[in-house]
Amino acid sequence: MRVLGVDPGLTRCGVGVVEGVPGRPLTMLGVGVVRTPVDAELGRRLVAIEQGIEAWLDEHRPEFVAVERVFSQHNVRTVMGTAQASAVAMLCAARRGIPVALHTPSEVKAAVTGSGRADKAQVGAMVTRLLRLSAPPRPADAADALALAICHIWRAPAQNRLQQAVALHTSKGRTG
């Protein structure tokens, strides 16, 4: 199972691709950050994110895209940007018929560290260990994207298969 994890953000959108199945060692296929200039117009920033995500989808052809579920408890301005960046990532995936899964930050932390309240350093350390990397991926958004992908591989494989079957069926229906 190949998963693209996306930690959405307007300024830095973390992306990471992980391949594997539950109970077996995981492999990192790529990690990075899609950046957009803070002073650019919002519409142009969204276009830049679209182009960045498309490039990652083209290169890695993931079977699933896992995006962090956005909450609005925190800073209002940041959350709006995060919601907008996540919308672009979901749109890119859904347009290709790739199933999109949303995971909350605490689900991701719990999946990779055993605790939903783990801090950034702990998540980074576990991502490094689980993917057998020589150092934690930088910036933290990149590590979070990998953690999202790992979380998705480990959560509910049966549900993933169902979702994939539905997506395949629906996309066949659209083109046929």
Of 19, 41, 58, 68, the active-site residue reads 68
Site membership for its own copies, residue 80 (CB under 8 A):
yes
Question: Mask 81-120, x = binds its own copies (CB under 8 A)?
Answer: --xxxxxx-xx-xxx---xx-x------------------
The verdict on whether 141 is a catalytic residue reads yes
Nearer to its own copies among residue 75 and residue 115 (C-beta): 75
Is 59 a catalytic site residue? Answer: no
Kindly state the DSSP code that residue 129 receives in the 8-state scheme. Answer: H
According to the binding rule CB under 8 A, does residue 6 interact with its own copies? no
In angstroms, the CA 35 to CA 21 distance is 30
Task: Please identify, using beta-carbon distances, which residue of 55 and 91 lies nearer to its own copies.
Answer: 91
Long-range contacts formed by 70-75: CB under 8 A, 24+ apart? 70/8, 71/104
User: What string of DSSP letters covers 69-100?
Assistant: PP-SSS-HHHHHHHHHHHHHHHHHHHHTT--E
Residue 144, annotated as binding a ligand: no
Q: Please state the closest distance from residue 162 (CB atom) to its own copies, in A.
A: 12
Measured CA to CA in angstroms, residue 129 lies from 14, 43, 46, 92 at distances of: 19, 38, 33, 30
Looking up tokens 């783990």 gives 118
Sequence-distant (≥ 6) Cβ neighbours of residue 165 within 8 angstroms: none
Is 71 or 132 the residue whose CB approaches its own copies more closely? 71
Residues annotated as catalytic are: 7, 68, 141
Residues placed in the known binding site:
7, 68, 141
Interaction site with its own copies (CB under 8 A): 41-44, 46-47, 50, 70-73, 76, 79-80, 83-88, 90-91, 93-95, 99-100, 102, 170
